Amino acid sequence: MSADRHQPFLDLLTARMDGELDATGVAKLDDHLAACPSCRAVAHEYEVDRERMRAIRPAEPPRDLWARTSAALDREVADDRADVLGATFGGRRGRGQLRVAIGSFIAASLVLAIAGGELVPVAPPGLATATPFAIAAQSVNFVGYADGELTLYHADVSEVCPPRRLDCADGPDGEAVVRLAGVSARQMTMNQTGQLLISGRDDLGAEVFAIVTLPDTDPTAEPQPDPTPADPAATGVKGATDDPGATRDPPLEPTDTPTEEPTDGPDVLPSVSPAGSDEPSPDAQITPPPSPTVAVATHQPILSGVIATGAAAAWSPDGTTLAFSAAPADRSLGSDVYLWRPGDDQAHAITDDHASLFASWSGDRVVISRADASADDGKITAETQVVDATTGEARSVDLDTGWLPSVDPTGRFVVFWHGRLVGRAGQVEPEDGRLYVADWRSLDPWRSKRSTRTEDGPATAASPAADEPDAGPTDPAATPADEADDATEAPASPSADDAAASDAVAEDGPTVAPDEGASDEPSEEATTAPATSTEPTAEDPSVEPAAPDAPFVLDRQRAVSGRTKDWVVRWSSDGRAFAVWTGEPGSVGRGSLIVRSAPTAAAPSGDILVDRVRAGRSFGLGLERIAWVAPLDDGEGELWLSVWGDGGEGAVKLRRLESLEAIPAY
Of 5, 23, 24, 59, the one binding other proteins (CB under 8 A) is 59
Cα gap 109→129, rounded to integer Å: 16
Query: Which of the residues 359 through 398 are near other proteins (CB under 8 A)?
Result: none
Q: Are 70 and 122 in contact (CB under 8 A)?
A: yes
Query: Which of the residues 562 through 621 are near other proteins (CB under 8 A)?
Result: 562-563
Query: Which of the residues 166 through 195 are near other proteins (CB under 8 A)?
Result: none
Q: Are 229 and 277 in contact (CB under 8 A)?
A: no
Instruction: Determine the size of the site formed for other proteins (CB under 8 A).
Output: 92
Cα gap 311→302, rounded to integer Å: 18
Query: Which of the residues 17 through 36 are near other proteins (CB under 8 A)?
Result: 17-20
Of 24, 88, 97, 293, the one binding other proteins (CB under 8 A) is 97
Q: Does 475 bind other proteins (CB under 8 A)?
A: yes
Where does this chain touch other proteins (CB under 8 A) — which range of 75-83, 421-429, 444-452, 496-504?
Answer: 75-83
Where does this chain touch other proteins (CB under 8 A) — which range of 55-63, 136-144, 565-573, 644-652?
Answer: 55-63
Query: Which of the residues 421 through 450 are near other proteins (CB under 8 A)?
Result: 434
Of 23, 24, 51, 292, the one binding other proteins (CB under 8 A) is 51
Where does this chain touch other proteins (CB under 8 A) — which range of 40-48, 129-137, 157-165, 570-578?
Answer: 40-48
Of 37, 61, 423, 545, the one binding other proteins (CB under 8 A) is 61
Query: Which of the residues 116 through 155 are near other proteins (CB under 8 A)?
Result: 117-119, 121-122, 124-125
Closest CA to 179 of 305, 327, 297, 307: 297
Cα-based distances in Å from 656 to 329, 494, 535, 600? 32, 49, 47, 37
Choice between 49 and 216, CB closer to other proteins? 49
Give the number of other CB atoms < 10 A from CB of residue 380.
18
| Shortest distance in whole angstroms from residue 74 CB to other proteins | 9
Choice between 425 and 477, CB closer to other proteins? 477
Query: Which of the residues 523 through 542 are near other proteins (CB under 8 A)?
Result: 523, 526
| Shortest distance in whole angstroms from residue 56 CB to other proteins | 5
Residues paired with 651 in a beta bridge: 161, 642
Question: For the purposes of burial, counting CB atoms within 10 Å of the CB of 374, is it exposed (0-12), middle (13-18) or buried (19 or more)?
Answer: exposed
Where does this chain touch other proteins (CB under 8 A) — which range of 226-234, 314-322, 324-332, 479-487?
Answer: 479-487
The C-alpha angle with vertex 514 and arms to 508 and 517, in degrees rounded to 5, equals 115
Query: Which of the residues 488 through 527 are near other proteins (CB under 8 A)?
Result: 488, 490, 517-523, 526
DSSP 313-374: EEE-TTSS-EEEEEEETT-SS-BEEEEE-TT-SS-EES--SSBEEEEEEETTEEEEEEEE--
Of 98, 128, 425, 496, the one binding other proteins (CB under 8 A) is 98
Q: Are 630 and 166 in contact (CB under 8 A)?
A: yes
Where does this chain touch other proteins (CB under 8 A) — which range of 142-150, 255-263, 277-285, 483-491?
Answer: 483-491
Counting every residue written for the chain, the total comes to 666
Choice between 287 and 519, CB closer to other proteins? 519
Rg of the chain over all Cα atoms, to the nearest angstrom: 28
| Shortest distance in whole angstroms from residue 108 CB to other proteins | 5
The C-alpha angle with vertex 463 and arms to 462 and 465, in degrees rounded to 5, equals 105
Give the number of other CB atoms < 10 A from CB of residue 6.
17
Q: Are 170 and 651 in contact (CB under 8 A)?
A: no
